[in-house]
Structure 1
Amino acid sequence: MQEPRLSIEDLTQLSAKERSRIRQRYALHRRYETAVALYADTNTSIRSIAAECGESEHALRAYLRRYWRELMLRRYGIETEGKDAQEVPFYTADGQSCLAHRKYKEAVQACDSIRYIDLNVSQVARKFGVNATALANFMRVHYSEVLKRREEYRIRLGISDNIRRGVRPDCREQYAAAVELYRTTDMSVKAVAEQCKVSEGGFLQHLRFYHQPLLKEKKETRRQAKLAGKKKRGALLGNGRKYEPLPATVQKYAEALAMFRDTALTMKEIVRRTGVPAEGFRFYLHKWHRALVLERSGIVAAEDAELNIARSRQRMKTVAAKYAEAIESLRQHPRPVSYVAREFGHHPEVFRSYLRKHEPELAASLGLRPVAWKQKERIASGTKK
């Protein structure tokens, strides 16, 4: 099928947002151009390329997966078979990488065959040209039932090597507290390892070797969390993390948040004093501290209520603080509103409107007619015209 050609009509139909995205992608491609060339033309690992180009390994890997998936599939020897590269997985449904599956496939089949029952796993690995430890670890994770069945048959045949297999007592004791914490909480492997002061890699390997049912249970929990609707703070996400801001983000906005909560300073003033980005702080507040935003806007509603804050706001904390001194002066010494407004630097009409809306009793005592009456007067005058 012939690809459609570019036309000036296509260009004119692009929105400003689409044009901006194209420019952003172009800048991204320029940034990683050298790294992509090294990845395509050499067998250098992504880690080495990232170090050589001064880029983050995770960022480079994510970029390659998204924009140069064809190169990654080609390096791993995975055929696309006419499919879109984005639809070809790197891993099978049970978590095996396609490359590892192809590498150990014959050796695994040999371990599950009576033909090679007289050989141990290390000998089978040597026969098929793979690393013995790597094959054993691969089978422990993905084909543990083959290892168990093989050992049972060798014992029946009287050719067992009498080597005790399974978790070692010292390893069981070392990771016991971590396993229990991981089982009874929603903490990630990394968080559990840090709290229990054990190696993250060692703990993960221990789980994969000896606690596969627990990992499957956690995987199902994450899958259910991914399918869930609206997330609540502290709830589990599909990637195993909790739905909450990162510690670095909390620390970044801590001072600004304290000012927002404890003072009547405007957002603009808080941002100026703390030096945090205005849009970032606004997003942080609305996402993680919506109750404070509602409180400052004078809105009485549940934190997760779906409403337009800009349209629903009532008596804002900053505005109340702005007029507080003038209102107190009016209460102590009643006099024309225009005089007080000029005295405290407020716009007279805006100050009158605020009094009518939020201080109706004071407004009535000063002879200000209510808002409803003013609206009727405008309608009547318009009718006369």
Structure 2
Amino acid sequence: MECGHTAGALGNYLRRYWRELVLHRHGITVEDKDLLSFKIIEAGGMSASARIKYGSAVEACRSLDYIELNMSQVARKFSLDATALANFMRVHFPDVLSWREQLRRSFGFCNGVHRGVRPESLDQYAEAVRLYRTTDMTQAEIASKCRVSLGGLNQHLRFYCNDVLCRKRQSRKIAKENDKKRFGENAGNGRKHAPAPSTVHKYAGALALYLDTDMTINEVVARTGVSAGGFRFYLRRWHGGGRSTVATSCSLRAAAKYAAAIDSLRCRPRPVAQVAADFGLNPDVFRCYLRAHEPELASRHGRMRTAKGRLVSSASREKYAEALRLYSTTAESLRSIASRLGLVYNSVGGYIRRNHPEAVALHASRVAANANA
């Protein structure tokens, strides 16, 4: 306060950049090791100050010299709050408490006061403890579902179900070390790897439009009023990576986008590039879609590669196939072949010269052989 800084900000600064001072203040000595690897207070552990504060009282509870004293008397003897000492013992030394209680009963020091969890509390939190033990629900979700106090549930777990908390900490530690988190699983911080309910509610309408219609993202955000960047991030983060809903939606939108062009190509066969230009589509993307979803139509009207790796029109290949065969296997002139098959000489000649130069070489060799004969 004297320097004008908050306690939280100063604490964060010291723990991050002057950690050796903080460790020294807590009585932790570190030599030639990574300071960040040492935690001042482990999850579920006790702080150094608490260890010092309650250390003498804990040793007294372990000793037979103080066995005739109850917890309140032990606390007063060491100038401690009785409730605070009892809570500290329940969390960190439950075995000492149970051992001490059994020993006091055997010595006849029991005064008839019930100690430990009360039956009504056990019944009150039974369902909540079961859910926390068997599911990945957070304490807040369980408390809301079972209609119990979050603080009361947390205290009940810390006092009487410490084994469950230890298993949860271990599972969170493993989940935190896993870089590839899957939807709905433990994220390593006590929460599920899933969007917040408020985020789901915010984008629910936009997601429904995106999945059920062929509207683009820009059209969806214009209608629903959400930000385009936020909606794109929401889709990539929580509905991407091969999730079937968005993949199906993308297929539906693509099918609707190319449906008219495909019908037009079926009714009036013409080059794919011309169809794409008529409907304002990208020719290369349209060809890729045809090959993937309409392979028969693509084989009739699309382009394919020859044995030499040249791209030729499927229609041209089919049209000039017989002329190419005759030109490659006989010595008949190309003009005669074109006239006999009803083809345009310049067209068939250009096709063969561009795409099948080996046929030109074969024809020339046959003509030369006939001339020599």
Does TM-score exceed 0.5, indicating one fold? Answer: yes
Whether the 8 Å CA contact 1:189–1:204 is kept in 2: the answer is yes
Q: 1:362 to 1:216 in 2, by over 3 A?
A: closer
SS in 2 for 1:371: strand
Match of 2:244 among 291, 304, 311: 291
- Which structure 2 residues correspond to residues 155-166 of structure 1 after superposition, within 5 A? 155-166=105-116
1:73 aligns with 2:22: yes
- Residue 199 of structure 1: how far off its partner (Å): 0.6
Taking structure 1 as reference, are residues 85 and 272 closer, same or farther at Cα in structure 2, changes over 3 Å only?
Answer: farther
Residue 233 of structure 2 corresponds to residue 280 of structure 1? yes
- Residue 251 of structure 1, CA deviation: 2.4
In structure 1, the residue corresponding to 2:125 is in which secondary structure?
Answer: helix
- Partner Cα distance (1:349, 1:84) in 2: 56
Name the structure 2 match of 1:326.
Answer: 261
The two structures have a TM-score, normalised by structure 2, of 0.67
Task: Provide the rounded CA distance (Å) in 1 between the counterparts of 2:236 and 2:25.
Answer: 40
Report the RMSD for the aligned CA atoms in angstroms: 4.0
Cα distance in 1 between the residues matched to 2:272 and 2:130: 69
Greater radius of gyration (CA): 2
Equivalences for residues 329-344 of structure 1 within 5 A? 329-334=264-269, 340-344=275-279
Q: How many residues align?
A: 313
Q: Identify which range, 256-265 or 190-199, moves more after superposition.
A: 256-265
Answering whether residue 209 of structure 2 is matched by residue 259 of structure 1, we say yes
Distance 1:324 1:127, change over 3 A: same
Structure 1 counterpart of 2:234, which letter? F
Contact 2:71 2:86 in 1 (8 A): yes
Distance of 1:112 and 1:377 partners within structure 2: 89
Is the 8 Å Cα contact of residues 225 and 237 (structure 1) preserved in structure 2?
yes
Q: Which runs of 5+ in 1 are unaligned?
A: 1-33, 50-59, 298-315
Percent identity for Structure 1 against Structure 2 = 43
Shift of 1:295: 3.9
| Aligned AA (1:258) | A
Alignment partners' CA distance in 1, 2:106 and 2:310 = 102
Equivalents in 2 of 1:37, 1:294: separation in Å? 55
- Name the counterpart of 2:5: 38
Which residue of the other structure, out of 155, 167, 170, is the alignment partner of 1:205? Answer: 155
Aligned CA distance change for structure 1 residues 85 and 381 (closer, same or farther; 3 Å): same
Structure 2 vs 1, CA of residues 247 and 69 (structure 1 numbering), >3 Å: closer, same or farther?
A: farther
Structure 2 vs 1, CA of residues 223 and 339 (structure 1 numbering), >3 Å: closer, same or farther? closer
After superposition, the Cα gap between the structure-2 partners of 1:72 and 1:280, relative to the gap in structure 1 and judged at 3 Å, is farther
Comparing 165-174 and 240-249, the one that deviates more: 240-249
Equivalence for 2:305: 372
SS at match of 1:118: coil
One-letter code aligned to 2:19: E
Q: Report which stretch shifted further, 175-184 or 356-365.
A: 356-365
Q: Which has the higher contact order (CA 8 A, sep 6+)?
A: 2
Cα distance between partner residues in 2 of 1:287 and 1:357: 21
- The answer to whether the 8 A contact 1:117-1:150 is kept is yes
Task: Tell me if the contact between 2:214 and 2:252 (Cα under 8 Å) persists in the aligned partners.
Answer: yes
CA spacing shift, 1:296–1:131, aligned 2, 3 Å: same
CA contact (8 A) 1:78 1:99 kept: no
SS of residue in 1 equivalent to 2:309: helix
Deviation at 1:214, TM superposition (A): 3.3
Q: Which runs of 5+ in 2 are unaligned?
A: 313-352, 358-373
**Cα separation, 2, equivalents of 1:350 and 1:237:** 39
C-alpha distance in 1, partners of 2:24/2:206? 48
